[in-house]
Structure formats: structure tokens, C-alpha cells
Amino acid sequence: MTRFQAPRGTQDVLPAMQPYWQAVLDAVREVARLHGLQRIDTPIFEDAGVFEKGSGDTTDIVEKEMYVFEDRGGDRLALTPEGTPAIIRAYLEHGMGSWPQPVRLYTTHPMFRYDRPQKGRYRQHTQFDCEVLGSADPLVDAEVITVLWRLYSMLGIRDITVRLGSLDDLEPRRAYVEQLKEYYRPHLSRLSEDSQRRFERNPLRLLDSKDERDLPFKEGAPKLLDHLSPAAREHHEAVRAALTAAGVKFVDDPLLVRGLDYYNRTVFEVVPDDDTRAQGTIGGGGRYDGLVGLLGGPPTPGIGFGTGIERIILEMQKHGVVFEPAPGTEVFIVHRGEGSGPAAIRLAAALRDRGVAAVIGESGRSLKSQLRSANALGARAALIVGEDELARGVALIKPLMGDGEQQAVPMEAAPEAAVRLLRGE
């Protein structure tokens, strides 16, 4: 008989891990409230062109990682690999450009990438995504970075640094790109196949390569921060000043380009301090003032980030963040005999109406077996209803923790008596 397993690169979130997920999602909601972000949810799948145009056809996402399929109607669709293009599609489709600007949006959304699975990196993962559309203000860049910084702090993640770069604007960047190509041209045959292919199409991606064959050449490459246009340099300095004012720890990273084609000016990543090669990014993003235009809208500035919840949880565990076991069953209802089932249902409903977590034992099992189940669940008390109790119109209340004697109370008074026992009265 076939026994199925979760697909490679996916994971089940078992009960023991749920407190971490709940903590992250609670922190996301709170940090969104503090920063004036509004929630948006987009579909699991989109027209594949949203990401091919939005993410860029030279990115790993589009070239290697997208889950693309044709549905029965012949539409070519893709499971969402990253949040920004989908949110911008929604921004345009629903006329958010006419809303008061900037529009501050966030989501927590499953993402799908056919990637090599590794710790903290899955083919299905969940991402907290934030996008601010309609402002070119460098203070907005700093505010977006501060959302991430505050979130990590709320979750007990310390010893991290923001790596901050700038990609300039498209036109001024062309001269730098030519310098970069001149630097790499003599080394081209020694680069990875991906970098050789991208040399003509998108040479900036050479600086983003993690291939061991490409790493020795990165440090000697010309630094984009040394070649910024006056406008981009002024923007970058304003972001730096705002981050300093906000108390965010950052360093300039002259080689930071990120892995997506749509970025301009500010780019950033948050990296653990003990990650000397800056390859364990927890979250990151950047400014994309041309992306709305690429997706068919009017020129609209924007900036955003993504951070994987699974990656956040790994970092929380590394920092020793633990949770007390979640409160479980408080009252276990033991029943046996004809007519005990409906009585147990009524008792459970009355307890739950009072906010008490109640579990009913399985019909047909002995009283002793049901009490063992109550102890296994960590219940604090049991309500026992057998044929004798039904005949007398009572239920037995049995403390399962600490001292205390079993006692009989009228059936209708049993829920309130159980509440008093739980309160220690």
C-alpha cells in the first residue's frame, strides 16, 4: 500500500511549531498597525506574465523557479513566486492610484519556487510582504526598512545588521554597467554558466551570484556606490540619516544588487552578524520606481520587502526564543452507558459557552480508559457521567491535578461547579 509524503521542499507545520507561527503572525499584525499598513490578499496564482514582466526574464525566479501551468481554459498561469508584482497588479486593477498616496499595503502569502530545498528555504514558503506605492521620499525607504527592523526586534531576533546599497536610476546606471562589463570581460571564461549568459543581458546580476566560481571576482568589481548620480547619492544619504535617527544598525554594501530586475536606488538586506559572507539573508527589498510602468500603469514610485516566516522562526530558535506549551484541555468529560452521550454533549456545550476548553471521551471505552486519556491530555478536571449518575441526575467532578476530593453535583450545576474548581474556589 502506498504511503504518501509531503512533496519535496514543503513541510507540515505540526502543533509544536504553531506557537512560533502564531507569534510571528501576531507581530506582523502589530507592526503593520504601528506603521499604518493595510492588509491585502492576492490569489495563489496569477497570469504568468505578471511575474515575467514584473520580476524580469533574467531572474532566477523566472528562468528556473516558477511553477507555470496551463489551465483547462488555455490560460497560462503561475503559482505566486514573490509578492510585489501581484500586489502591483491589484493596485492597478482596483484603481488604488486614485487613493490618498502613498498606499501602504502588506500581506502574508504562500510563495512557490522550484528551488533546491535547504534549511529555511522551501519550495513552498510563507512570506510577509510590505509595499508602499506612490512616494519617492527617501524617508519612506527608511520607514519600510524600520518595519522589518521592528518586527525582528519584537520577535527576539538580535545581532543583525541592515546591508544598504543603491542601484542608482536606470539611465545614470548605464555608464556603470559598461565599466562592470569591462572589468568582467577578461574573466568571462572562468565565470559560472549563469554569469556568462547574463553578462550581456543583465551584467548587474553577476554581483548577485552565489556560485563559488564567481565569488573571487566580486570584491574587485567597480563599486556602484562610488558611481552614483548626484540625485541618487542625495537620496542614499537621506536614507542613511533617517536610519541613524531611527536607531537601525546598518552598513553600506557597495556590491548589493538583489536578485530582481526591477530595483532602482535603495536596496537592502537584513543579515545575521555571524554570517560573514552575507548569504543567510533573513529579509530584504528595495525601491522599484519603474515597476508599475512595466505592468501597464502610469509612472509610480514604490518600495517594498519580503521576509520568509520559516526563516524568521529559525532565527528565533537560534536566539533561544521558546514558548510555554499552549493551554490545552481543561475539563475532560467521561461518559459511559445508555443516554450518557447526549448528557456529555450538553455539558461540553455549557462549559465551552463559559470559555472552558472541554473534550468528550470516546463512546464505548471504559471509564478507566477515558480517565487515562484525560490525564494524557493534561486535563485539570473530569466530569463523569455514568448510568448511575444519570439515574440520580448528577455528575461527578474529579480533580485531576493537586488535592481535592471527587464530589457529586446536580447535572445542571456541574458546568459552573467545574469553572469554580478551575479557578481554585
Task: Give the cell for residue 137.
Answer: 521620499
Task: Give the cell for residue 222.
Answer: 567597480
pLDDT of residue 298: 95
One-letter amino acid identity for 71? D
**pLDDT band with cut points at 50, 70 and 90 for residue 276:** low
Pick the residue with more confidence: 116 or 376? Answer: 376
Residue pair 194/203 in contact by the 8 Å Cβ criterion:
no
pLDDT of residue 309: 96
**pLDDT band with cut points at 50, 70 and 90 for residue 123:** very high
b/e string for 385-424 if b means 16 or more Cβ within 10 A? bbeebbeeebbbbbebeeeeeeebbebeebbebbbebbee
Output the CA torsion 204→209→214→216 (10° steps): 90
Residue 39 has pLDDT above 60, yes or no: yes
Which range, of 237-241, 325-329, 347-351, averages the lowest pLDDT?
325-329
pLDDT over 90, % of the chain: 68
394 alpha carbon, distance to own chain's centre? 50
Let me know if 21 is exposed, middle or buried by CB neighbors in 10 A (0-12, 13-18, 19+): middle
As a whole number of angstroms, the distance between CA 266 and CA 287 comes to 5
pLDDT of residue 259: 62
pLDDT of residue 95: 96
Residue 318 has pLDDT above 90, yes or no: yes
pLDDT of residue 33: 98
Residues 6+ apart with CB under 8 A from 389: 395, 396, 408, 411
pLDDT of residue 61: 66
pLDDT of residue 110: 96
Pick the residue with more confidence: 176 or 120? Answer: 176
Task: Give the cell for residue 330.
Answer: 481543561
The domain defined by 331-423 carries CATH number 3.40.50.800: yes
What is the strand order of the sheet 160-166 is part of?
38-39, 103-112, 124-133, 302-308, 283-287, 264-272, 160-166, 250-252
**pLDDT band with cut points at 50, 70 and 90 for residue 64:** confident
Q: pTM of whole model > 0.85?
A: yes
As a whole number of angstroms, the distance between CA 143 and CA 138 comes to 9
Segment 46-62, tens digit of pLDDT: 999 999 886 665 566 66
CA-based nearest residue to 258, from 358, 163, 400, 187: 163
| Strand boundaries in 253-330, DSSP class E | 264-272, 283-287, 302-308
Residue 414 has pLDDT above 70, yes or no: yes
**pLDDT band with cut points at 50, 70 and 90 for residue 310:** very high
Segment 242-258, tens digit of pLDDT: 999 999 999 999 888 87
The domain defined by 15-168+228-318 carries CATH number 3.30.930.10: yes
pLDDT averaged over the chain? Answer: 90
Q: Indicate if the alpha-carbon torsion angle 359, 364, 365, 371 is positive or negative.
A: positive
Say whether the peptide bond before residue 272 is cis (omega within 30 degrees of 0).
no
What is the rounded average pLDDT of the residues 80-100?
96
Output the CA torsion 149→249→167→253 (10° steps): -130
Domain ranges in the chain are: 15-168+228-318, 331-423
User: How crowded is residue 198: how many other Cβ atoms within 10 Å of its Cβ?
Assistant: 20
As a whole number of angstroms, the distance between CA 11 and CA 5 comes to 10
What is the rounded average pLDDT of the residues 364-377?
91
**pLDDT band with cut points at 50, 70 and 90 for residue 317:** very high
Residue 90 has pLDDT above 60, yes or no: yes
Pick the residue with more confidence: 190 or 94? Answer: 94
Residue 361 has pLDDT above 90, yes or no: yes
CA angle 226, 165, 159 (to 5 degrees): 130
Pick the residue with more confidence: 187 or 241? Answer: 241
One-letter amino acid identity for 129? D
Segment 208-241, tens digit of pLDDT: 777 888 888 888 888 888 889 999 999 999 999 9
